[in-house]
Structure 1
Amino acid sequence: MRVRNENGGLTAMAVAGTYVVLLGWDMPEATLLAQGVLGFAVRRLRERDGERIWLSGMKTFEQVEPFPVPDEPVTSFLHPLQTFQWADYSASPDERYVYTIVPMGGAPGALVLGPGVDLAVATERVDQGRHAVFFNRGAVASQEYARRFQNRPPDDVGPSAFNWLSRGLVEGLEAFIGQAAQGDALEGAFFEFKSPRIYTALKAAKARGAAVSVLYDGDSQGEGNDKALEGQGMDGMVKSREHAGGFAHNKFLVLMQAGVPKQVWTGSTNLSVNGMFGHSNNAHIVRDDAIAARYHQYWLLLDSDQTRKPTATQDEALSPLPADGSPLDALFSPRLGLQALDWYAGLAAGAKRGVFMTFAFGMNSRFVPSYDKTDDVLRFALMEKKGTGRTYKAQAAEIDRIRRHPNVTVAVGNRVELNLFDRWLAELDRIADEAHVLYVHTKYMLVDPLGDTPTVVVGSANFSAASTTDNDENMLVIRGDTAVADIYLGEFMRLFSHYAFRESLQFKDATSDANALLRKYLVPSPDWIHGGGGAGQSYFRAGSDRALRRLYFSGQ
């Protein structure tokens, strides 16, 4: 849900997903300076019970609080937010809130509230009916985990840590499986299939009279999958996919009811401890008979366990490139050529205001031209790492080059390593030793998500050549569903902001012993809008990342 409002020269917009509400605002530069605005406070009213809170930040005015308590957020009512973009990550699905954005004038310690803007929103339900969207917490490397669980591994904490990290994703899969009853069937294909918890749910479905058939990768993950399945009582329900041209990299489950394909569970989540609870992952349920039927046909093809070329030939017949304007479609891999990857790159290149993509293991060269340009289109890339293998150095150099464009912003997974960095706590980077991915594992693209006809592409495939021509993969293409786009955009910005800050610490050498304990305070004048009087980039420099974000997220 999106809401925009204006008052007294202040323009603001809220974009409400399920667990995230994005907030953006703007005021004319001259007004900010004339009124001596020192930042903005944000108040949240929850309509259900009348609870009122002021959203918090981490920085303080040195004149008011020179020695703030380690790891304790501070209220924006006393220490306003010196930015034009913020988010509430503590929202709950299907709730009504009113956010009030207030410009704060006066002086530190004696702030004066200006005329604010109210934004009344209803957060989205996790289950939208046709679509249901799940994101795990995806940030074991976080201050909140460190605060809540003293940075202890989840195995040491117990179910409360796993539940917090799951954030409803694993429970959603269990509920999906729980629908299968007598005469129904579940047909799945998974790269990593190593979860006793999901085995239990599937065995319960079989006990209810449902047929269960799961394919799993028998090549690179074969040994690990086989070991995990030993003694689990899954005989007759599982089968190894042996002849994939590359990785049998899917993660999907089809629900057949009375012999008819009805629902699909898909996304990026491997069924392993790290996949479900450690690095960032998502899942997406789609309830559409035509799409479910195509996934059923795709599963039958995979079950026949043919080699790459015959599989690719049939995949292209089953899932041709989507027609222009198609509201819901699916693309399956492997494919004979790279036309699907070119099609994705064309979507990115055609963005009018913004493109937001996750690239787990580097940016394929087909997407570089879309990012390698200076214009008024915001281009965000969230990455696990800048590249892989022998070409890593060249890939990293290219990312560092294109991120110099003022409208291109890249974030790479990282964590706070030193305890007490500017009142922050050291963070874990994994919950299990066997971790090939630490931070970012999602695979999705958002094209003009705040427009009237957003495009969301999401599934199991990295936007790469191997995922297109070699691996077993699946992707959904969703057009024109603003509620789905709002959910994905909120989750993208949640993790993007999380990791962009952590990566920036490496640029600034902020975690060195000499700099780690230096306090970073709020600017005690309106000069914060210009980077503290020359210390950084101005929010009002035309074409800059900050200026473009100020306009885009305030709905202008």
Structure 2
Amino acid sequence: MPDVIKVRAATNNEVAFLAWDIDGMIPGCLGFEIVRLYPDTGEERCLAAWVPFKGQRNPRWIPQDTGVWPVQKTFWRDLTVRRRRDSIDLRPEGEMIAYRVRPVGDMKPGLEPVPVRPDQVVDGKPAYAGTPRPLGYLGQGAVGPPIFLGQMFGKARVAFTNGVLSTQWMSRALAEAGIKVGQRDKIRAELQNPASKIRTYLHGDVPDVLTSLMKRAKAEGGTVRLALYELGDDELCDAIVAAKDVVEVILANSGKDDQTKAWDFGNAPFRKRLRDAGVTVTDRLFNNNHIGHNKFAVYRDAQGNPQAVMTGSTNWTSTGICGQSNNAFIRHDPAIAEVFNAYWERMKADVFPPPASESAAGHVAQKQGVPFRAENHISNPLNGASAALDGMTVWFSPNDPGRSKKDIS
């Protein structure tokens, strides 16, 4: 009888992706049961499933598992590797996990029955509508090699947000917080509240990665050079203010408000908060179609030597950390930190006339200079040459020296 012969998995500390091979078509196969294994403790956890068989319905969107509703593919994403299916608490990181995949079909004599693990009655009612379908194992399946569930990978620390998730889970979580779907102002306030468990669930470990170099600078006597496109989150702004003696910020402009037509509408109140608190801020206000799309920080030790860099896709806004699928990573590597530090210095030196006011539209004069673009035209730019990096290539933008937009206000 054909069977599952190989299982492979990879994880990013928030979601695991796994795939498996079979050595032929498996007669009577209705899908596959997937079990997450914890080799160090012997614990087993069958993965959650929400989609029933034909003739069954799941109107309350109550999870079963893949032993009740098997996966009808040869790949799957484990969305609950750290985020639990039935609560907003986190599983611990730093563990080894593995996956066992077994084919299943309708139960018949001679087959080992698949256990029904989840509760079949919830709040006094059947967990789902329709006749249960007993299943049996069609093979022994296979177990993949253990993988590490954590943030540290060599020189890099990596974290991801949970912007892609079940809308049904989100609606239930909001209901538990007394918020109805569609109440945008209340949802926005929930995502901006540092004490919100929903916010914590959505942003994962990303805020700690974003701000960790500033914490390190305060603890070790170093400094941080930060370059941001957007700043629009109270907790992240407070972290910068708390590090005001060790951080210097280049802050670009956010977009134009649809109603007031004022530029930098999102950043403006946070820019003022930084200034009022005494943070050293360099404004980089284009207020046109040019974008200072930076999201990085360089840590320098007490002697001013670059040691680590933080970057990634995450904008420093409540939406960036809670409403989108983003990442942030730190690489502890002096060579790459020096390249990013040089880019930060070139950016600060790339001075152009400011707009008439912080909210006024920019014009052709508000653009990146040719020397800045030219230096970015090579990979790993450092003092006009390409620096040697350990297995990495870095490109900065804008990097076309000849390109220039007309008046685009």
Give the residue type in structure 2 aligned to 1:224: G
Shift of 1:260: 0.5
CA contact (8 A) 1:41 1:101 kept: yes
Query: Aligned ranges for residues 156-305 of structure 1 at < 5 Å?
Result: 156=190, 158=193, 159-181=196-218, 183-206=221-244, 210-218=245-253, 220=255, 222-232=264-274, 233-242=276-285, 246-258=290-302, 259-305=304-350
Partner of 1:38: 30
Q: How far apart, in 2, do the equivalents of 1:163 and 1:219 lie? A: 25
Partner of 1:155: 189
CA contact (8 A) 1:129 1:287 kept: no
Shift of 1:132: 1.3
CA contact (8 A) 2:14 2:162 kept: no
CA contact (8 A) 2:97 2:149 kept: no
Secondary structure class of the residue paired with 1:70: coil
What is the TM-score with the length of structure 2 in the denominator?
A: 0.71
Residue-by-residue CA offset, 1:307-345 (whole Å, 9 max, x unaligned): 43121122235735989996112111111269xxxxxxx
Secondary structure class of the residue paired with 1:198: helix
Give the residue type in structure 2 aligned to 1:170: P
CA contact (8 A) 1:243 1:305 kept: no
Q: How far apart, in 1, do the equivalents of 2:216 and 2:80 lie? A: 30
Shift of 1:8: 4.6
Q: How far apart, in 1, do the equivalents of 2:18 and 2:95 lie? A: 16
| Counterpart among 381, 389, 398 of residue 334 in structure 1 | 398
Sort the Cα spacing of 1:9 and 1:200 in 2 relative to 1 into closer, same or farther, 3 A. Answer: closer
Q: How far apart, in 2, do the equivalents of 1:62 and 1:236 lie? A: 60
Shift of 1:100: 1.4
Q: How far apart, in 2, do the equivalents of 1:87 and 1:43 lie? A: 12
Q: How far apart, in 1, do the equivalents of 2:378 and 2:388 lie? A: 18
Give the residue type in structure 1 aligned to 2:331: V
Give the residue type in structure 2 aligned to 1:10: I
Q: How far apart, in 1, do the equivalents of 2:35 and 2:166 lie? A: 27
Q: Identity rate of aligned residues, in percent?
A: 26
Residue-by-residue CA offset, 1:277-296 (whole Å, 9 max, x unaligned): 11222112111111111111
Residue-by-residue CA offset, 1:67-90 (whole Å, 9 max, x unaligned): 434211222212222111112122
Structure 1 stretch displaced more, 322-331 or 94-103: 322-331
Q: How far apart, in 2, do the equivalents of 1:260 and 1:324 lie? A: 17
Sort the Cα spacing of 1:195 and 1:262 in 2 relative to 1 into closer, same or farther, 3 A. Answer: same
CA contact (8 A) 1:39 1:103 kept: yes
Q: How far apart, in 1, do the equivalents of 2:311 and 2:388 lie? A: 23
Q: How far apart, in 2, do the equivalents of 1:154 and 1:222 lie? A: 20
Shift of 1:141: 6.6
CA contact (8 A) 2:229 2:254 kept: no
Q: How far apart, in 1, do the equivalents of 2:106 and 2:293 lie? A: 57
Partner of 1:71: 61
Q: How far apart, in 2, do the equivalents of 1:9 and 1:230 lie? A: 60
Q: How far apart, in 1, do the equivalents of 2:318 and 2:222 lie? A: 28
Query: Aligned ranges for residues 383-422 of structure 1 at < 5 Å?
Result: none
Residue-by-residue CA offset, 1:352-406 (whole Å, 9 max, x unaligned): xxxxxxxxxxxxxxxxxxxxxxxxxxxxxxxxxxxxxxxxxxxxxxxxxxxxxxx
CA contact (8 A) 1:71 1:147 kept: no
The structure number with the bigger radius of gyration is 2
Structure 1 stretch displaced more, 272-281 or 90-99: 90-99
Partner of 1:112: 136
Give the residue type in structure 2 aligned to 1:186: V
Shift of 1:106: 3.2
Does residue 311 of structure 1 match 2:372?
Answer: yes
Gapped runs of 5+ residues in structure 2? 83-92, 108-131, 181-186, 256-262, 352-367
CA contact (8 A) 2:4 2:142 kept: no
Shift of 1:257: 0.8
Secondary structure class of the residue paired with 1:32: coil
Shift of 1:46: 2.4
Does residue 122 of structure 1 match 2:156?
Answer: no
Q: How far apart, in 1, do the equivalents of 2:379 and 2:23 lie? A: 53
Q: How far apart, in 2, do the equivalents of 1:225 and 1:115 lie? A: 57
Sort the Cα spacing of 1:284 and 1:9 in 2 relative to 1 into closer, same or farther, 3 A. Answer: closer
Partner of 2:122: none
Shift of 1:9: 5.6
What is the TM-score with the length of structure 1 in the denominator?
A: 0.53
Q: How far apart, in 2, do the equivalents of 1:104 and 1:275 lie? A: 41
Shift of 1:242: 3.6
CA contact (8 A) 2:50 2:58 kept: no
Shift of 1:126: 0.7
Secondary structure class of the residue paired with 2:310: strand
Q: How far apart, in 1, do the equivalents of 2:26 and 2:18 lie? A: 18
Sort the Cα spacing of 1:295 and 1:178 in 2 relative to 1 into closer, same or farther, 3 A. Answer: same
Give the residue type in structure 2 aligned to 1:57: A
Partner of 1:103: 103
More helix by share: 1
Shift of 1:62: 4.1
Give the residue type in structure 2 aligned to 1:74: Q
CA contact (8 A) 1:10 1:26 kept: yes
Secondary structure class of the residue paired with 1:247: coil
Secondary structure class of the residue paired with 1:331: coil
Gapped runs of 5+ residues in structure 1? 1-6, 339-465, 471-556
Shift of 1:101: 0.7
Give the residue type in structure 1 aligned to 2:79: Y
How many pairs does the alignment contain? Answer: 327
